Structure 1
């Protein structure tokens, strides 16, 4: 179990950290609708601020539900030098090469149960596997529903896409992340059904900010959350404090383990309730502006 902030650090200071603390603090930001603008791009201002701070030695990285390739394209070559956290925390990779430093797999029996109940619900799973250096995304060929079609439209030519004739063609031991895309009612019902039978798994249901009415049910190992990945990375780089930024439900566990957690103004109410403070909007480059003020005295 990941400890909550107060349990892990004691009563944390709700004020901004002093500038002298910045070199021992790991800063971790979500991407979509947090560091990125609403058009899924990183502004020139944010890129310039972050590259400058990283060049000065500030410990900064991001944690995202995106793959490394998708995140790297969205951030436009941002010069992140620490490992980045991808697929919601299930994979930590080299920021420049995408080479995994850690992959946190689902238990095969848990993945089998996810597939059984998803099929029974008439939904379609997208199963992410990593084995022998290859990252693949699989679904049952010929059963492309609206959710899978939406996913595929955004990834033309993606080498990871691997349709299969049956789930027997997928190595369940290599699975680390599952997403099911659909309407609120059907994905929520599946989440509730899975919650009653799965152990050692983390389930998050979030609305797609780019497609209103579309919901993502994401399933991965409890060891593969943004929270766990950030704590492990903080220990690895010798950071004594963890400060995070986010906007959505899947950032809640990350907020709960951080020393300070800042929600952007466009964040969901449930995240704001758990935040140390609420900063500006993502479209106003609030994360970069906050970091500039704190770490560079801007």
Structure 2
């Protein structure tokens, strides 16, 4: 049987300092040489995914923006895409009315950008944007109308929980909503995506594209729950939230202890054609 292995990045494959250990890089590269089909499903963009996974040689498509896109890791072509309809403009204006100024991800004139109003940034947004200095997608704008330009596919709000929680409830039926704390900064995030976008949907599409029979996944957070539910086997790292551990096939070592790579190294021989 042909198995697709999929791992979350932040808090799962990546250590707490946003890096990969050499052991993880060497282990996964060696197993991929032997035929393992290994991909990532992450909230990150392809741009930042490539930065933090430097050294890994995955040649199959990657799932980014929490399943909004499936992209070719080599050509950077978008293979599967999910976009908002024009109704998302009303959501952006609604957020502003609540004094929440989002980061809006869009394709503007065919170029991927993330737009924001600098003087309206929350402390959490400033902290996040500091990690994206020099990013070619940066688009500082002056007005709310500017935030609505282009073909929108993702919205991020970083603010106080008491402001974000009611909005997560308001939009959860119409859109795909993830309400969680950032694994690195502990700031509260609200992420809004098209309803059709999810790690689960993207993985199932990738499974079909690659002709796989089974899915084995690894994760740590709330945005991995849907992925776990459609997996044949799903493993939570030791640092994962309890909600994910409760639905996992098993709990493995933490992200800082190379949990995913160790599990693969020890168990891959059970999958036909790999590690024999």
- TM-score, normalized by length of structure 2? 0.93
Please tell me whether the aligned partners of residues 92 and 148 of structure 2 are also in contact (alpha carbons under 8 angstroms). Answer: no
Please tell me whether the aligned partners of residues 65 and 88 of structure 1 are also in contact (alpha carbons under 8 angstroms). Answer: yes
Question: Is residue 203 of structure 2 the alignment partner of residue 226 of structure 1?
Answer: no
Structure 2 match to 1:267: 240
Please tell me whether the aligned partners of residues 70 and 202 of structure 2 are also in contact (alpha carbons under 8 angstroms). Answer: yes
CA–CA distance in 2 between the matches of 1:286 and 1:275? 14
Please tell me whether the aligned partners of residues 106 and 112 of structure 2 are also in contact (alpha carbons under 8 angstroms). Answer: yes
Please tell me whether the aligned partners of residues 107 and 150 of structure 2 are also in contact (alpha carbons under 8 angstroms). Answer: no
CA–CA distance in 2 between the matches of 1:278 and 1:25? 20
CA–CA distance in 2 between the matches of 1:92 and 1:256? 19
Structure 2 match to 1:28: 6
1:140 alignment partner, one of 113, 117, 132: 117
**Count of residues in Structure 1 that have an aligned counterpart in Structure 2:** 271
CA–CA distance in 1 between the matches of 2:52 and 2:146? 32
Please tell me whether the aligned partners of residues 127 and 179 of structure 1 are also in contact (alpha carbons under 8 angstroms). Answer: yes
Closer, same or farther: CA 242–132 of 1 in aligned 2, 3 Å = farther
Root mean square deviation of aligned Cα: 1.7
CA–CA distance in 1 between the matches of 2:108 and 2:162? 34
Matches within 5 A, 1:101-140: 101-109=79-87, 111-140=88-117
Matches within 5 A, 1:97-246: 97-109=75-87, 111-170=88-147, 174-195=151-172, 199=174, 201-212=175-186, 214-246=187-219
Structure 2 match to 1:10: none
CA–CA distance in 2 between the matches of 1:119 and 1:86? 26
| Offset at residue 39 of structure 1 (A) | 1.0
| Offset at residue 211 of structure 1 (A) | 1.0
| Offset at residue 130 of structure 1 (A) | 2.2
| Offset at residue 194 of structure 1 (A) | 2.6
Q: Deviations over 1:214-236 (max 9, x none)?
A: 11111101221111100000000
Q: Out of 142-151 and 153-162, give the one that drifted further.
A: 142-151
- TM-score, normalized by length of structure 1? 0.86
Please tell me whether the aligned partners of residues 89 and 148 of structure 2 are also in contact (alpha carbons under 8 angstroms). Answer: no
Closer, same or farther: CA 176–102 of 1 in aligned 2, 3 Å = same
DSSP-derived class of the 1:60 partner: strand
DSSP-derived class of the 1:228 partner: helix
CA–CA distance in 2 between the matches of 1:94 and 1:249? 25
DSSP-derived class of the 2:193 partner: strand
Closer, same or farther: CA 253–172 of 1 in aligned 2, 3 Å = farther
Structure 2 match to 1:13: none
Query: Which blocks of at least 5 consecutive residues in structure 1 are unaligned?
Result: 1-20
